[in-house]
Structure 1
């Protein structure tokens, strides 16, 4: 309010209601379709001045309003459009504020972003390292336990026990030997002392269990089992499934003195120890866990969730089991929750070990760091914004006040001046601005009349150009004469806001101008009664006879004009000749219900449109003639083609071929009734599958132009169903292409025959020319006819009728 009061105090002159008030002009509307309905938008060029004629009359506008219109049109190139007062904030302030904010914000945001991203990846890596340590520890524990199992089994293989093993493996009935009881007792003591094995048993090379500490193992045969087949080759650990129970098999081969394998020693251990190792969750938090999965992706150990799935097919499990590799990643676990997982492949037991922890728990410290970093960044941004606003306001406030005053002046309030009392560059600018405003106030009054006149001319010219473009567009896109004439008269009537428009064309004799199109009910009535004007009479006839336009600004004063009862309100009329290629083909009448409606410019535009219409009508006529000539040529060619085929089929009536399983061969079948029907009608004939044929016949005519020269006969078995539209369409297209190919072959054959005849004629004529006497010429001719044409008898006889013998018709040889 303070700034507003300061500006008011700097106004010149009294502030009474009689003061001149300047208002912001409204935007000028764009040119519409009708001449009288809209005004054109100002077109700023070096020599064009426009005003808004839809505003109040000139004498009712204030000096400021007139000044604004003059400035808008006299100085379009010399000044940029000024912003409205509602959009006053200084762009300089925005630039200063933006620059200061960018200087502070960009490094802050980049630093915070890099910190967050680095911390996030670091946290992920820490979790992966922690899980990898846990997985490595679990793997080491499993290996240690397996080594203990192998050690216990090795302890059993003393030299004495080895001999007993070989004896039992070689005996047909081992349980009757004393070594049997000794070995079994030795196995039982080992199980009782170590507690690692659930059962220990001997298996011979045929896969049969000959001794076991478990009664359920007696006489079982493990031939074909992986642990048995591989254990015959070398010691191993193997994960074995039997009757839905998982257990670890520790297998050692037993060799005799010659090094030959006599069987295997197998220690069976339960999964309890491995399950206990996997259930130990130290270092895994609340959601972390470890578990084993077989190569078939079956879960081997207990999991944190109470009920466990039979198979686990997560991304980590698939990579570990398929690629037999170690790795880590982020993926959904068997419960569908996103986890960070580490997986190891354990070749000793052919299983994958996975250590996983839910991502939300694992990255909780990183999320806390992210919150802290975001808070710090927001605090820095807030401080930067406040500092930037304070500094920019201290610099831009004086400029903002001067910009507000400049906006008021640009809006038409020329009585305002800038009130800035400074001795620096801004003060100089304010004084210069006040001087310029005073000069503008003195400049306005003398130019408004000239602006209004030129604006009206420009508006009229713009409407004429738009109407001319519409007529030219219709003339260039329509080839139907009747439609073109109707659309042209309607367009001219609508664009020029006329009372009536009619188009006359000369008749064939050139004596009468016949109405071909007219607007409104009057035009329809005159068309129904066949309205026409004799050439030389009336304005239309005079315009055609003299090849000139005729204008009646007041129809009552034109002695040539013929009045029409259907058009009682006509007050001014113009008749324009239609010229096409130097000839007058008709005339265009345009009538208005206002006197003096036509001037030199409007007549020039209307004459141009009339010439365009005349050329378009002539083009449409030529197009129709060309179409007729083309149709005549096509009919003539079709008749010649038909005669050629009639001659060809007369000389070769049995042209036809049939394809079958035996190949392609000429056909000698006679024409059936359906074949003749296809030839006569020229359309496809399709059988319905009735009768004894057990098939659906189809006959497609082969056409050359409109002439049917043959048929394509085929059929489908009843089992394949009737012919569908797509199949028929394919065969019709094939028949069309066949007709074109046959026509080309016939034309080629005719050309060859003509060439052969011409060559033969040239050869005989050449030999005849080389003869020197009449007898030799005749002998050569007869000889060539005999040998070339293969005639059985050829002769040439010369003779004349004597005058005395002309009456009786007798011929005498010479």
Structure 2
């Protein structure tokens, strides 16, 4: 039984409530009671109001849907009427332009040439067509084959008066790109002047254009304004539509067609920018069921992914490679009625679609709005009603909560008075934990808590003393550690300098590049403002500055600064006595040389550069601070001086080796040239000529020059950089050598060089072997006797026979004895 009760206590202790403070436990108990009451009251009020509010919401939903659909239809109709008024205005302008031409053609008084004479103003081009000056207002074009009769000339003169009317129409209507008249006799008047003769072919027949054919009497007996299908203008004017109307004279004889190119880019922007709800959009459908200005959202809805279609303002459904079935359903429904509104499911989402006909051009404006936006107002009203319901419920609950909150407040105040001394002790302990050892607890309760507060105050004083002592020891050790770290950093910099100098020595062989690099590295790593390297001259009389890193040092280099060894400055002292010298304060050093190029020097050290026991020069380091050089600096600089000495000796050895190698190479080339000259003289052959008839030896210089005068491609035959001949190729004068042929010629020349050299080496080896054999034979015969006279005779006979000569003499030479 006890075991069961102890386990329950453990469970309570491990819970959040068990770990809560006493004041919190009392407060939580009261809040739980209050919360239970509020929940019961809220559920009751909510159930009572929910039924009434649902009925109101249903009624509002129906009215909101009807209003939203009506707004969508009204917006579409208003936009369509606005577009229709634009096309109506363009239609009136087209009629005005046509009527102006009819009036001009009917006025015979305008036929005179006093205003403008076609016979003199028009120029026939080489192609046979006729053109007017580019400075005139209209562009006039007459194709080849047109007969300039007096009647035709009179018509042209009258039509020229159209320039008094058409420019004002263009100026007053910026959407009109061009106005033009095509006559039944094939003449064209085009505003503005675009030099039409240089754009169209010479036989351009305006009566064959579609806008002309559509407006002719047989196709347009009612003399209506005919609208073309929209198209992309080749002159980059965007989307253009052409309106045309027939022209008759006063005798009702057909004279031609007046037309206008109208830019509808502004209309497309108007449609694209139409406000259709929040996410809705609109587009046009022309009389051929082609889609105009479909926005990206629409293309996504209908699954149109064809790149050509997406890049164009006009989409032909018949040419689409991909589109959803809903797209074609929409086109079919819209084509059946002049106006209306219906619902269509697109991509698993309902869409409200309203459409209205633009009567002037028989286009249709289509607006699409997601159904979820149609119900947006309904949802808002529903949420408003539900919100009011929740507000009422909450207000009622708050009234109940207020009563219980008052009781909870009284309970909280009582528990706070009971636990306040404990809170004071807890806060003081927290301060002590965070390092505030000046905290003091003041309790006058007269019970155990007051005793506990005194004990905590005593413990705080003890801890404060221990911490203070520990901080002093930590501070002292920290300073020592920082000093060690600084020394380590300086040592690291010095070792890096030594490593960099050693690396430079291994990579650089030239003193002119090595010594400046060494001065730069030492200056950067040791932070000394001037580092110089002096080298003794050949007579060991002067130490000459060879490299320096500072500005003053570079000036000294330019004037070839030098110091007399053993007589001038610290450098002169070091180079004469072969030991380092340091001036921690240059003003107190009698040996110091006051250099005007280095006025900021406060301390200086110079170290000899030695190779064995020979002084090569000195390493001079100067600082702007007095006492700048430590013992470790001197150790590092001494190592660097030794390295520099080794580097100087190595560089000089490299230079000596390079000179010896150059002399050996020169001797080898001389020997090589002499061998080839000997072979040329022995064989008496100037070269070889290879033709279709075979190989031919060139034996004299004239023949060689004759062949050389015929060559066009010459490639040298070289061995080890020495040219031993040339390979010349004769080619026909009409042909040019190709790159691959040239590569082949060079490859053959290289192969000839290798073969020739091998032959020369073989010949030389053979000669040497023959000479050794001959010497051996003669020596063997001489050794067959011990008589000197016989030895001499044998030697003479063998040499005469071997060299093929008639006379050999051996003359003895008496050696002159010294006095």
TM-score normalised by length of structure 1: 0.40
Relative contact order (alpha carbons < 8 A, sep ≥ 6): 1 or 2 greater?
1
Higher helix share: 2
